Amino acid sequence: MIDPDGMWAFGETRRYRNYFDEWAAYKECSDRQMEWNSFVASNSGINIDLEHVKFVLFIAELTGGSGSIGSTHFDDKDTEDIVREAALNDVEFALKLYKLSQSEVDYLFRWTGEIDFDNDIYIQEGFIPGKFITDEKSGNPIIEFSTYKGSDTWGPLSNLYHETEHGIQFENGRLGFIKGEDGIWGPNNHMYDINDEIDANIAAFSAPGVNQIKRNRFLKKSPGEQANFLLQSKNYDYIRIFSNHGMNHVPIIQEWQTNKRLIHTEKYLHFEFY
């Protein structure tokens, strides 16, 4: 029994590891204003397949384009600049952005501004900035994030990394949305557990500029200890999902369930593995 994030982390990601050196070489030749075809011609040993081409086109668009990247869209230019810069400086984050850009659904990134942990009065117990929400009409995911200033724990982009990880969880069938009786889309509580938040916090700790001592302290904890650490924030969502499911993963995806399909009905939006 595995979860889809494990499939992504140890399966699909491996396919792109060989492209990282080529990415660096591509960026080098891009700086020299060389054409991609010339780069390929001078590196005939490269095995070009469809996924490789798609990844290279993504990198080219990331480095030199503007506006939407595949299925990923940006609420405004400030949002776009932050997300692009994060991806250009971190290949692991770029891989996640690439995965979302190839999705059957559209993702919208939305920056809500900077939070100053030294001065903002609304930084209080139980407050967690950023949201992984949906468009009220389409149900499509929105990755809403803040940048941080003055935190003694987090880096400036930790919230972006946290909420993007929820996007990956949605893409991997771990999160979903449901339309309530009021017609408003919200998280499907049958597909949301404390492990999703643990992994999102691990992603937040992987952002540049985090406190490495606190990062290592969190990573050394057992999953149960990590859950207790989150519950101490007294965030209502954390308390609710832990009371619903404890440490259980929902949904459970079996190892043989490798096929994926989009479920998008009037009431439900999620990916299903079968």
Q: What confidence tens digit (pLDDT) does each residue in 133-187 have?
A: 998 877 899 999 999 998 889 999 999 999 999 999 999 999 999 998 888 888 9
Q: What pLDDT shows up at residue 8?
A: 41
- 224 domain-assigned: yes
Six-digit token string for 99: 């995965």
User: pTM for this structure?
Assistant: 0.83
Q: What pLDDT shows up at residue 116?
A: 87
Q: What pLDDT shows up at residue 226?
A: 96
126, pLDDT greater than 50: no
259, pLDDT greater than 70: yes
Q: What pLDDT shows up at residue 55?
A: 79
Q: What pLDDT shows up at residue 141?
A: 96
* DSSP-assigned letters across all residues of 152-178: SS--TTHHHHHHHHHHHHHHTTS--EE
The answer to whether the beta carbons of residues 184 and 177 sit under 8 Å apart is no
What tens digit of pLDDT does each residue of 39-85 get? 444 554 545 566 777 777 888 888 877 899 999 999 999 999 999 99
Q: What pLDDT shows up at residue 5?
A: 44
% of the chain residues with pLDDT over 70: 78
Buried b (16+ CB within 10 A) or exposed e, 7-36: bbeeeeeeebeebeebbeebeebbeeeeee
Q: How many domains, in total, are found in the chain?
A: 1
- 24 domain-assigned: no
Full residue range of the structural domain in which residue 132 is found:
71-273
- 266 domain-assigned: yes
- 105 domain-assigned: yes
- 34 domain-assigned: no
Q: What pLDDT shows up at residue 125?
A: 47
Mean pLDDT for the chain overall: 83
- 241 domain-assigned: yes
- 32 domain-assigned: no
Question: Higher confidence at residue 15 or residue 265?
Answer: 265
- 28 domain-assigned: no
Confidence category of residue 220, pLDDT binned at 50, 70, 90: very high
